[in-house]
Structure 1
Amino acid sequence: MKELLTLQVGDFANFVGSHFWNFQDEVLGLAEDPNGDDVFWNSGLEMDTLYRIGETRHGVETYTPRLLALDLRGSLGAVRSCGSLYNKAPHGDSSSVTSWTGPISTFREEPITKNKFLQSLDEEHECLSDQSAKFFSVNQGSGQDHTYKQADQEIVQDLEDGVQFWTDYLKAHTHPSSLFEIQGAWNGVTPFQDFGCGRGWLSETTQAEEFQNRFRFFVEECDHLQGIQVIVDDSGGFSGVASDLLEGLMDDFGKSPFMLFTVRPPRIDVQSSSMKNSIVETLHDAVSFSKLSSLVDLVVPLQVPNFGRSELSRHLCIKESSFFHTSAVYAAAISNITLPFRMRNFGPSESYTLNIGSCDMGGMLRSLTWSSARKVAELATALPAPAVPGANESLDLTKLISLSPFGQSSVDESLSVEAIVFQGARLLGSKGRASIVDVVNSAYGSNRNRSKGVNFAHLAVSLCPLAIPLPFPKIFRSSVGHYGDILADGSIQKQVRSDVSSVPVVGRLKTSQVAIPYIKEKITDLQRFGISKASAGSSLLQQWGFPSEEACDLKESLLEMVAGFGGNMDTSTSDSD
C-alpha cells in the first residue's frame, strides 16, 4: 500500500474537501452493508491509502482521514477542532493565568447550534455504541423506513437552506491533529483578500512549527508515502499561506510528489471595482499562480466562471451563490481523477473484473509532465458520464466539460498528453453497468479520440461509481436516473431530484498547449502592473515580499512553463516599459 496525505488550505478548499471525504466515507459505509450492491464491498479500492488506523486513549479503534485542513478561527462552526472521537481537555479559563494581576475582561460567544445533519451524526454515533439500538435500526418495518426517508429529506433541505460552514455537512470523523485554525485571524473579520494578506502569517509565529510537526506526524506513520494532494483556495490570502507552507515543506519532503488543485468559487459580484482594486486582483492572480506552481510537480487550476451557462447545466442545477453547490462539482472531479492512486493492483485475470489502471501519483505525474517545466494541467469531466454505446460504436471523449480557466484555442495536439479515468460506466439505454472490456474497447477504439494525435498517458477504469452521500446538494435534474443514467435532455427537465444514489463519472487530466494563453496572460499582467518601472503595483509587490529581483524570478518561472509546452514569448518590450 502507498499512502496519500491530503492538505486543504482555505475556506472554499475545505468546502471542496468536505464533499471529497463524504464520497470516500460513503464508499466505506456501503462496503460494510451486507445487503448493499456488491460493486461497493468488492470495489477494488484500497481506502487505507487515504485513511489511517488509530485508537483512542481507551483503546477504541479509529479510522480517520490522513488530512491536514487549514482555515481561519471561527470557520469550524459547531464542530470542535479536536474532533469528536478523542476526548481532549478544553483550554483553561482566565483564572488559571497567574502572571497577570490586572483587571480581566471576558468576552464570551454562544456556541453555534448543530444543524439537523450534525445532530443525526451524534444520534447515530450513540446508537452504534448500543448493540440493541443497532439491531433495532437494521430491522425496521416499512413504516419506519418511510419515517427515516422523510427525516433524510428534511436533513437535505436543511442543508440546502442553511449551510454556512464546511463542517456543516462533513461526515468523516477527523483526527485531533487534522483541523488547524490560524491563530489571530478570524473568519469574516480579518482582511484576507489577497496574496500579501496571507504571506508571512504563519512563518512569523510558532504556528509554522506546529503545522510542520502535525504534517510530520502523518508522514512518519506512512510505510510508503506516494505523494501529497493539495487543495488550495487561491482566491485570496490563503494562496500566500499555502506558499509559505509549501516552501517550508520542501527541505524535508521535497522528494515526494506534490499535486495541487487550486479552486475558486464563482464570482457573483459583477459590479466594476476601482482601478486600484483591479490592479490588486490582477497582481494577486499572477503572483499566486506563478508562486504556487513553482512549488509543486503539477498544478490543476479549477475555476468555472458561470456554472449556469456551462454545459454542466444540462443535467445539473447549480446555485452560483452556494459554496455548498459549486464545491460539490469540483470535489466529484477531483475524487474521480485521483481514483487510480487508491486502486488495488490485481493480476491479469482479475483486473478485467474489477478495475484496471492502478498507478501511484508519481507515475501519473511523470507521464503527464515530461519535464519539470510542463506542470500545468487541464481537468475536464462529465458528471454524470454518458453511457457506453454498443460493441461496434465508440464513446466520444472530446466533449468533456473543462473545469479549468483556459478557454478554447487550436493547439498542436501531438504535444498533448492525457490521463482518462472512468468509474461506474453505464450501458446505453439504461441496460445496466458496463464491463471493464466495454469501456476499454469504447475508449481505445474511438477514431474521434485519436484524430488529433493526442497521446494517452494513462487509462484507468473502475466498476465502482461515485456514491452519492446523504449530505449532497440537490443538483441533479430529473433527466438523471437513480443510478446516474441520462434519461432525457436536462435543458427541458428543470426539476431536481434527491434520490440519485450513484453516478458514473469520467475525467480527463491533460497537459497541452491550451494552457499557454493562460500562462502568457499572467506574464503580461505581472510585467505591466508589477515589474515595469512605471507600474502602479511595484510597491505592492514589495509589500508582499517580492522585491524587483524576486518579481523577475516569478516571471522567469512562467516563461519556462511556456517554453516547456513548446511555446514562445516575445519579451522584447519588457525592459522598455
Structure 2
Amino acid sequence: MAGWGREIVTLQCGHYSNFVGTHIWNIQESTFLYDENPAAVVSKEINHDVLYREGRTMTGAVTYTPRLVTIDLKGSLNTLKAEGVLYDYHTMEDIKWEGDVTLHQEKAARKNQFLSDLDTQGMQPHVKEEGTSNMDSQSSRESDTAEFKGQVPPVQVSPGQQQESKQAKVYSLDESIDVWSDFLHGHLHPKTVMVIKHHSHDSDVDPFGLYTKGRSLMGKRDVAEDIENRLHFFVEECDHLQGFQVLVDFCDGFGGLGASLIESLADEYRGKGIMAVGVAPGSFSSSTLAMDNHRLINSVLSFDKLSEQSSLFLPLSLASSLWRKVGLPVKFQNVHYKPSLAYHTSAILASSLDTATLPYRVAEEPISLSVLTEALGNLGRKVSMLSTSFPLPFPNRGYLASVFGNYTQRPPWIPLTPHTHEGTAQPFAQSVVIRGVPAGRIHAPGRQPQNALESCRSVNEMLRCYLTGMYPRTLSSGLCINQPLKTAAPFPHIFDPRMSQEGFMEQWQRREEEAVESLPMMTSLQTSPAAQEMLTHLVKEGSKVDIRKCHGYFEDGLERDEYIETLNRLEALAHCYELCA
C-alpha cells in the first residue's frame, strides 16, 4: 500500500507539550482497527506506521508504540515509570550486597479511576498466537496494540445504526489530573521518556522559566548525549525517515532547549522536514511583572530560532493574546471548556493538530512532510497558523451544504494562533482537512439544488467548491477523511449536553451516562497575512522590555546586542507577510 516506510519521529519538549502530545496519542490509538473476520474488507484511511513502530519484548510479545521522545523535568511523571512496563528487566533482583541496607520508602502516588481501571483490565502486551487469522501488516499491529491495552476496538457504524457493544464508561477526571501521565492510555517505549534531573517541575526555588536555562542544558554533556542516544535509536530503525514533528513549550525554559534541539536536528538531518509546533497554555496560574517579561522575552527568542531552524513553525494557544497581558480564551460554539485546565485546553489543540497533520499520515496518496512545509513556508514565510472548527458546526438536522452555506462571508473555523484573526485578507496558501461527515449528511435528499454547493455529490467535491468560492486567489489543497475525530475516554467532557454521541446537535440532551464519542471536524493549516500582526505585536512588546534589568538571562549568557538582533530578524520576518499592491 502507498505510504509505507515514510517514518516520522516525534519529540515533545516541555510539560504542556506533553499534555498536548498525550491527547494526540490517545486519539490515534482510539482509531486502531481490529478485524476479527479475515474475509471482511476494512478500510484503513490512516497509516499509523508513519508515527508508530512495531517491536517485541524480551518474551517475544508484540508491541506497537509511538516513535517518540518526550522531555520533561523531575517530578512530572506521577505514577508513570520513565522506563515503562513493556520491557521490565527487574534489575534490582540482580544486585548483590552484603553490607547494611537502609530502606527509604516513599508513599506511592495515587492513581485516578481511569488509570486504576486500565490496571484492572490488564494492560499487558499481546502475544500473537500460532494459527491466528491471516491479516495484513497494519491490521496485525493494530490488533496487538488494542489487545494488550485491554481496550475494545472501536466499531464503525452507519448513520442511524445502533451500536450494540457495551456502553463505554464515562469518567470525570477534571479534579484528578495533575500531570500528563495521569491520562495516558497506551504504553510508551523505554527509550521515550527522558527526565531532566537538573530542574524540578513546578519548583519555586529554581524555576525553569528562562529561555537561556534551556539553551544551557543542551551544553551539558549528559543531557545532550541522552537526547542523542534516544533519537538515534528511533531514527536508525527507520527505512525512509521523512522528518520530525516537534512540540515545544515556547514560554519557558523549554523554548531554549527545544530551539537548540531543532538546530541540532537541522544540522544532522539536512533535507528532512521539521514541523515545529510551539504551544502555550490558555492561562497561567500566577502572574507578576517579572513573569510577564520572562514570557515575552522567551517568546521573542523562541519565535526567532524555531522559525529559523525548522521547515515550518506553528505557534498555538487558546489564549487570544499571550505576552504583556494574557488575553481572553478562544470561544467555540457548543464547547464549554475551562481555560485554567491544561487537560481541557490541550485536548482542543491536540484534536486540531491530529486533524491538520492527516495529509502526511493518510494511507492513500499522502504528501510528504517536506512538501507540506515547503508549500506553506514559501518565500521565507516560515511562521504558519492553524484554524479549527471544533466541532464542524452542523445545525440541528442540518447538512454539510447548509454548513458551508452559512459561512460564505467568513470561514467556519477559529484561529488557534494568538494575536491573529480571520480578516478579509486571503491566505497565501492553506491545507484544509475535513473529517467525519457521514454520507447521509452531505445535502438534503430529494431537494432540488439551489446553488453550486447543493449540486455537489461528495464531501470532496463540496470542499473544493467551497474553497474555490471563498479563496479564489489562495493556493489551497483539500483532504477528506471519513473517519471522525475520536473523543472516547479519557477525553474531557467539554461538549454541550445537546450534542449527540456522534458530535451533531440535537433537540434533546444526552443521558448522563453517555459521552460524545466522535466529532466531525475541519482545520486549515495556512500561511496568512494575519501572521504579520502577530509578529509585529511581538516585536513591539519585546522592544519595550529593558533586557538589562532581567539579570537571569545575562547570567546564562544572553547579551543585549543578541536580543536586539533577534528583534530585528523578527521584524524582517514580519515584512515577508506584506501584501503586494
| Partner Cα distance (1:540, 1:73) in 2 | 21
Following the alignment from structure 1 to structure 2, what is the Cα–Cα distance between the partners of residues 499 and 392? 24
Deviations 1:347-377 (A, max 9, x none): xxxxxxxxxxx31211111111113x21111
Deviation of residue 203 (structure 1)?
2.2
Quick check: 1:565 aligned with 2:562?
no
Q: Give 1:404 shift.
A: 0.8
CA deviation digits over 1:435-464, x for unaligned, max 9? 9952222222237x6345441332111111
Cα distance change of structure 1 residues 560 and 118 upon mapping to structure 2, 3 Å threshold: same
1:115 corresponds to 2:112: yes
2:248 and 2:277 in contact (8 A); partners too: yes
**84-93 vs 468-477, greater mean Cα deviation:** 84-93
Q: Which runs of 5+ in 2 are unaligned?
A: 130-146, 153-162, 322-326, 446-453
Counterpart selection for 2:466 from 443, 446, 462: 446
Instruction: Read off the aligned partner of 1:367 and give its amino acid letter.
Output: A
- 2:489 is matched with 470
Answer whether contact 2:251 2:295 (CA < 8 A) is retained: no
Describe the superposition over 1:101-120 as per-residue Cα deviations: whole angstroms up to 9, x where unpaired: xx999765322133222222
1:398 maps to what in 2? 411
Letter paired with 2:356: I
- Indicate the residue corresponding to 2:139 in structure 1: none
Match of 2:391 in 1: 384
Q: Give the CA deviation at 1:210.
A: 1.4
Counterparts of 2:93 and 2:537, CA distance in 1? 52
Q: Is 1:375 matched with 2:395?
A: no
Tell me how far 1:487 sits from its aligned partner.
2.6
CA distance in 2, matches of 1:162, 1:92: 34
Partners of 2:506 and 2:68 lie apart in 1 by: 38
Question: Against the structure 1 CA distance between its residues 104 and 201, is the aligned structure 2 distance closer, same or farther, given a 3 Å change threshold?
Answer: farther
**Conserved 8 A contact 1:436-1:463:** no
Tell me which amino acid in the other structure corresponds to 1:170: L
Query: Aligned pair in 2 of structure 1 residues 288, 468: CA closer, same or farther (>3 Å)?
Result: same
Letter in 1 for 2:319: P
1:549: how far off?
4.2
Q: Distance in 2 between matches of 1:381 and 1:223?
A: 33
Count matched residues: 522
Range with bigger deviation, 89-98 or 56-65: 89-98
CA-atom RMSD in angstroms:
3.8
TM-score, reference length from structure 2? 0.80
Distance (whole Å) between structure 2 residues aligned to residue 422 and residue 429 of structure 1: 12
1:366 and 2:374 aligned: yes
- On the 8 A contact 2:212/2:558 being kept in 1, the answer is no
In structure 1, the residue matched to 2:522 is 506
Distance in structure 2 (CA, Å) of the matches to 1:495 and 1:392: 26
Percent identity, aligned pairs only, is 27
For the pair 1:519 / 2:535, whether they are aligned, the reply is: yes
CA distance in 2: counterparts of 1:78 and 1:513, whole angstroms: 45
Q: SS at 1:84's partner residue? A: coil
Matching residue of 2:429: 417
Amino acid in the other structure paired with 1:179: V
SS at 1:16 equivalent: helix
Contact persistence 2:210–2:553 (CA under 8 A): no
Letter in 2 for 1:551: Y
Offset of residue 484 of structure 1:
1.2
Structure 1 unaligned regions, length at least 5: 139-144, 347-357, 569-577
Name the counterpart of 2:19: 15
Contact 1:475 1:496 in 2 (8 A): no
Per the TM alignment, residue 325 of structure 1 is displaced from its structure 2 partner at its CA by 1.0
1:555 to 567, 570, 576: 567
Letter in 2 for 1:113: R
- Residues in 2 aligned to 1:62 and 1:556: alpha-carbon distance in whole angstroms: 49
Larger deviation, residues 171-180 vs 252-261: 252-261
**Cα offset, 1:69, TM superposition:** 0.6
Q: Which secondary structure does the structure 1 equivalent of 2:31 belong to?
A: helix
Q: Is 1:32 the equivalent of 2:34?
A: yes
Structure 1 residue aligned with 2:501: 482
Counterpart CA distance in 2 for 1:147 and 1:23 is: 20
CA shift digits 1:388-409 (9 cap, x unpaired): 4349975737131111112337
Encode CA deviations 1:197-224: one digit per residue, 9 max, x unaligned: 3221242231211111110111111111
One-letter amino acid of the counterpart of residue 363, structure 1: V
Distance verdict in 2 for CA 1:88–1:435, change over 3 Å: farther
CA distance in 2, matches of 1:225, 1:206: 26
**One-letter identity of the residue aligned with 1:82:** E
For 1:46-85, list aligned pairs within 5 A: 46-85=47-86
Moved more, 471-480 or 194-203: 194-203
For 1:495 and 1:541, locate their aligned partners in 2 and report how far apart those are by CA, in whole Å.
54
Q: Is the 8 A contact 1:483 1:501 kept in 2?
A: yes
Is the contact made by 2:61 and 2:125 (CA closer than 8 Å) also made in structure 1?
no
Partner of 1:233: 249
The one-letter amino acid of 1:511's match is T
Q: Equivalents in 2 of 1:87, 1:435: separation in Å?
A: 59
Q: Please say if residues 230 and 261 of structure 1, whose CA atoms lie closer than 8 Å, have aligned partners that are also in contact.
A: yes
> 1:494: Cα distance to partner?
11
Distance 1:111 1:391, change over 3 A: closer
Mean alpha-carbon deviation: is it higher for 233-242 or for 333-342?
233-242
Distance 1:205 1:416, change over 3 A: same
Deviation of 1:125 after TM superposition, in Å, equals 2.8
Distance (whole Å) between structure 2 residues aligned to residue 128 and residue 483 of structure 1: 30
The reply to whether residue 246 of structure 1 matches residue 262 of structure 2 is yes
Partner of 2:159: none
Q: Distance in 1 between matches of 2:403 and 2:18?
A: 44
Residues 310 and 3 (structure 1), Cα distance of their counterparts in 2 relative to 1, 3 Å cut:
same
What is residue 344 of structure 1 aligned with on the other side? Answer: 363
1:457 to 451, 468, 476: 476
* 1:430 and 1:485 in contact (8 A); partners too: no
Task: Tell me how far 1:250 sits from its aligned partner.
Answer: 2.6
Instruction: Say whether the 8 Å CA contact 2:8–2:50 is kept in structure 1.
Output: yes
Deviates more, 1:185-194 or 1:42-51: 185-194
Q: 1 or 2, which has the higher helix percentage?
A: 1
Alignment of 1:78-477 (within 5 A): 78-90=79-91, 108-125=105-122, 149=167, 152-153=169-170, 156-157=171-172, 159-189=173-203, 190-269=206-285, 273-274=288-289, 276-305=290-319, 312-345=331-364, 358-371=366-379, 373-387=380-394, 388-390=399-401, 394=405, 396=407, 398-408=411-421, 410=423, 412-413=425-426, 416-426=428-438, 428=441, 438-446=458-466, 450-451=469-470, 453-477=472-496
The 8 Å contact of residues 356 and 523 in structure 2, kept in 1 or not, is answered as: yes
Identify if the C-alpha distance between structure 1 residues 537 and 428 changes in structure 2 by more than 3 Å, giving closer, same or farther. farther
* Residue pair 1:191, 1:197 contacting (<8 A) in 2 also: no
Could you tell me how far apart the structure 1 residues matched to 2:46 and 2:177 are? 31
TM-score, with normalisation over the residues of structure 1? 0.80
CA contact (8 A) 2:23 2:347 kept: yes
Say if 2:388 and 2:413, in contact at 8 Å, map to a contact too. yes
Matched-pair contact (CA < 8 Å) for 2:285–2:340? no
Equivalent AA in structure 1 for residue 392 of structure 2: A
Residue 16 of structure 1 contacts residue 328 of structure 1 at CA under 8 Å; is this kept in 2?
A: yes
